[in-house]
């Protein structure tokens, strides 16, 4: 491993060579918080969302201070793992990410199943992984997971056939225009928010959304809904309200401006018998990039849930 320049002192990174595709070499990047001595609690592996990367050092330091062994994974064609000439965020099936998740878990240690702390599309990917690979992870902590489309399964079913048809023609070309910068305006310090992150790796309106990637998300949501319940403990954190509109408004600073939280929560309730769902007042789409009061509430909930897991 080498020092990670994104997270800074105390963090290392390891590049994982993956099977190439027709754009050339493919990699993922695993980051790790250095620690002294043995941890009392198990590993925790952070997965980011679509058009995102692992960068929240404050969250990782909080988790490490509690005794967790903290790791993060930039998935292929995202963040640190996006190579020159690649189509950002492109994937034709969410199971493609199995390769880097499996590699990461082998490095962390097969005898040390981690908690997966996963955001947005990463939450969908993590839930699908846990369905296919029972016993490989200890628990799921899902931060506004993209488990379902806006307004629920009916929207997904209506969109499925036309999106698949378009993906067959467009492949890596964008299916959606670049989004509004509302979310960045609520989070990034250059746009009126509180946090700093690389706007090249996490653009204000997201990268152009490849048709193949949207088709993969819809397929993943369909497969998750059709699958049986997960037996492992699951925490789902999300904002209490959604604010989606063409024009920016100040209430967006304390709401999810990306996902429909009602559809998200309804899908979360179907994940299994050990699901704890926690709406967080004032939270944003990434609950840990909220204003200080909402972020603190989200951290208290996460800490309490971890404290009650059978971890030893």
pLDDT for residue 90? 97
**In which residue ranges of the chain is pLDDT below 50?**
none
- Show the tokens assigned to 86: 């690649």
Phi, psi (degrees; rounded to nearest 5) at 253: -70, -15
pLDDT for residue 37? 64
pLDDT tens, 265-304? Answer: 999 999 999 999 999 999 999 999 999 999 999 999 999 9
Separation between Cα atoms, residue 179 and residue 68, nearest integer Å = 36
Separation between Cα atoms, residue 125 and residue 261, nearest integer Å = 18
Q: Residue 136: exposed, middle, or buried by beta-carbon count in 10 A (0-12, 13-18, 19+)? A: middle
pLDDT for residue 105? 98
In sequence order, the 6+-apart residues with CB closer than 8 A to the CB of 37 are none
Ordered by start, the domain boundaries in the chain are: 2-307
Provide CATH code, domain 2-307. Answer: 3.40.50.1820
pLDDT for residue 310? 84
pLDDT tens, 127-149? Answer: 999 999 999 999 999 999 999 99
User: pTM for this one?
Assistant: 0.96
Separation between Cα atoms, residue 305 and residue 312, nearest integer Å = 14
């Amino acid at each position: 491993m080498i020092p990670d320049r994104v997270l800074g002192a105390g963090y290392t990174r390891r590049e994982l060579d993956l099977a190439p595709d027709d754009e050339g070499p493919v990699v993922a990047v695993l980051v790790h918080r250095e620690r002294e001595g043995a941890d009392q609690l198990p590993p925790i592996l952070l997965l980011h969302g679509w058009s995102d990367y692992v960068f929240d050092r404050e969250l990782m330091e909080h988790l490490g201070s509690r005794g967790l062994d903290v790791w993060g994974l930039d998935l292929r064609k995202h963040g640190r793992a996006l190579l020159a000439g690649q189509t950002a965020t492109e994937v034709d099936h969410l199971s493609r990410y199995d390769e880097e998740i499996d590699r990461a878990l082998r490095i962390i240690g097969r005898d040390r199943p981690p908690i997966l702390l996963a955001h947005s599309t990463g939450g969908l990917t993590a839930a699908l992984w846990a369905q296919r690979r029972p016993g490989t992870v200890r628990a799921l902590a899902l931060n506004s997971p993209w488990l379902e489309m806006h307004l629920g399964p009916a929207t997904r079913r209506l969109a499925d056939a036309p999106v698949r048809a378009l993906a067959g023609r467009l492949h890596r070309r964008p299916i959606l225009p670049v989004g509004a910068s509302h979310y960045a305006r609520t989070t990034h310090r250059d746009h009126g928010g509180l946090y700093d992150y690389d706007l090249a790796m996490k653009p204000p309106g997201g990268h152009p959304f490849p048709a193949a990637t949207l088709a993969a998300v819809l397929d993943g949501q369909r497969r998750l809904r059709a699958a049986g319940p997960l037996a492992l403990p699951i925490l789902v954190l999300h904002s209490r309200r959604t604010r989606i509109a063409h024009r920016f408004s100040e209430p967006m600073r304390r709401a999810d401006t990306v996902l429909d939280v009602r559809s998200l929560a309804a899908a979360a309730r179907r994940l299994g018998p050990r699901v704890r769902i926690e709406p967080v007042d004032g939270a944003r789409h990434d609950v840990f990039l909220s204003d200080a009061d909402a972020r603190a509430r989200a951290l208290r909930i996460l800490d309490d849930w971890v404290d009650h897991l059978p971890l030893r």
